[in-house]
């Protein structure tokens, strides 16, 4: 009788423990399920969304799509009304976007810097628009000259420094700062919009 009573009491003590372990399994499964969207995020890592401001202007920069079918959209607004929307095909992934006023005319430009998805050398491109009035006019970013292309070894760094757009790249396989070439560009009007011209 004492043996039977001991078995019954032992079973009663085990039930809460098993129930607690089941709760722990549910929590672990819950954590795994919560982590699953990270895979979706990886699949959508090429999408880009950023809000930018410059004085009374606000902009939304978005890129969507896969591979060669990617699209860049820039929407903007000043203090009174909407600006014309920009839509253009896009190569690579946007890794940074910024506003500036390189020509100091009081009106903003929007700069989007991209890098190729399969380009291990880190070659960058610039998609930029100057909002002259309500319309975003394209800014042409020049290709490297033949001499610069001969020196080019990848690993671009493109950024805005006061009134300049600056491009820096490696000239050999070293990561040393002394082995990099830096080019400064200024913004100038052109026949169909604006263009970045190498500063003298």
- Using CA of residue 113, residue 115, residue 121, residue 123, what is the dihedral sign? negative
The pTM assigned to this predicted structure is 0.73
Interatomic CA distance for residues 183 and 200, integer angstroms: 10
Contact 123, 93 (CB under 8 A): no
Amino acid 118: pLDDT: 62
Structure tokens that stand for 175 in this block: 């990561």
Q: What is the pLDDT of residues 63-86, one digit of tens each?
A: 998 876 789 999 999 999 999 999
Interval 172-184: pLDDT, tens: 876 666 789 999 9
**Chain mean pLDDT for the chain:** 79
Exposed / middle / buried, residue 149 (Cβ in 10 Å: 0-12, 13-18, 19+): exposed
Q: What is the tens place of the pLDDT at every residue in 114-151? A: 987 665 567 889 999 999 889 999 999 999 999 999 99
């Amino acid at each position: 009788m004492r043996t039977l009573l001991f078995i019954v009491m032992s079973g009663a003590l085990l039930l809460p423990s098993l129930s607690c372990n089941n709760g722990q399994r549910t929590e672990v499964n819950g954590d795994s399920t919560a982590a699953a969207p990270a895979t979706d995020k990886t699949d959508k890592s090429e999408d880009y969304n950023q809000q930018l401001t410059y004085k009374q202007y606000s902009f939304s920069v978005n890129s969507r799509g896969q591979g060669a079918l990617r699209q860049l959209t820039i929407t903007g607004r000043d203090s009174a009304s909407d600006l014309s929307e920009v839509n253009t095909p896009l190569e690579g992934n946007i890794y940074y976007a910024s506003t500036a006023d390189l020509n100091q005319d009081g009106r903003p430009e929007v700069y989007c810097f991209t890098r190729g998805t399969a380009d291990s050398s880190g070659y960058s491109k610039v998609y930029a628009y100057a909002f002259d009035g309500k319309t975003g006019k394209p800014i042409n970013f020049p290709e490297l000259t033949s001499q610069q292309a001969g020196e080019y070894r990848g690993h671009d760094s493109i950024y805005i420094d006061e009134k300049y757009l600056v491009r820096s790249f490696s000239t050999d396989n070293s990561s040393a700062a002394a082995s990099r070439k830096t080019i400064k560009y200024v913004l100038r009007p052109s026949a169909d919009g604006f263009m970045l011209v190498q500063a003298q």
